[in-house]
Structure 1
Amino acid sequence: MARRLVVKVTCGAEAPERLSQALTVAATAVASGVETSLWLTGDAVWLGVTGRVPDLALAHSTPLADLVEAVLAGGQVTVCTQCAVRRGIAEGDLAPGARIAGAATFLAEALSDDTQALVY
């Protein structure tokens, strides 16, 4: 049975290298055929909103918009319910393919059989 990957991102543009690393891992997993779920929490939730992916211009890194697009195309992107509400983000604000879900859904994914969870 194939393993699945859950990547949880807990930072935004204030931690550009950590943010870029998390998205690079998620996009690489998708490109490798791994079932991938990207969870956005804290200020990372803005990555799930249409037109809000920051351009960090981080040297030697793929642009965040390209990484998010890759995960949206082949994986699942989830915005934390509480984090979205605190920032006034609704389902209609999200990029096509992204969703809003909470802790119960995260736990169900992260604790399922043959799943590896990483938190950045």
Structure 2
Amino acid sequence: MARSLVIKATAGADGAERCNQAFTVAAAGVASGLPVSLWLTGESAWYALPGRAKEFELPHATPLDDLLDVVLKGGRVTVCTQCAARRDIGQDDVIEGIRIAGAPTFVEEATADGAQALVY
């Protein structure tokens, strides 16, 4: 069984370097052929909305919307149920291909055989 990579982004513009690191590692995992699941929690939940990742700026970093596109094409992106609810984000609001799911799903993915979970 191939190893999988489960990444939880816990920051948005409030922790730009942490946020960018999570997206960068997720995209690198996809590029290297790993099954990747990127979880958007806390302030990173906003990047599930169309156009929001384009607003993110961090000098010397790959644009967040480019990284998100890589992960959407080759992996899975999930917004935390509670984080979405606190921000009034519903399934109809998010970019096509992004799902909303809760802690049980995260735990299942993060504890699967061969999974490596990272939290940023």
Contact 1:55–1:63 under 8 Å retained in 2: no
Aligned pair 1:65/2:83, yes or no? no
Aligned to 2:90: 90
Aligned-pair CA distance for 1:54: 4.6
> Aligned pairs, how many?
120
Aligned-pair CA distance for 1:56: 3.3
Q: Secondary structure at the match of 2:100?
A: strand
Aligned-pair CA distance for 1:100: 0.2
Structure 1 residues without counterparts, runs of 5 or longer? none
1:28-59 Cα shifts (integer Å, max 9, x gaps):
10011100000010110011111221533322
Aligned pair 1:117/2:89, yes or no? no
Aligned to 1:11: 11
TM-score by length of 1: 0.96
Aligned-pair CA distance for 1:66: 0.4
Q: Which amino acid aligns with 2:59?
A: A
CA change 1:6–1:105 in 2 (3 A) is same
After TM superposition, which residue ranges in structure 1, 4 or more long, deviate above 4 angstroms?
A: none
TM-score by length of 2: 0.96
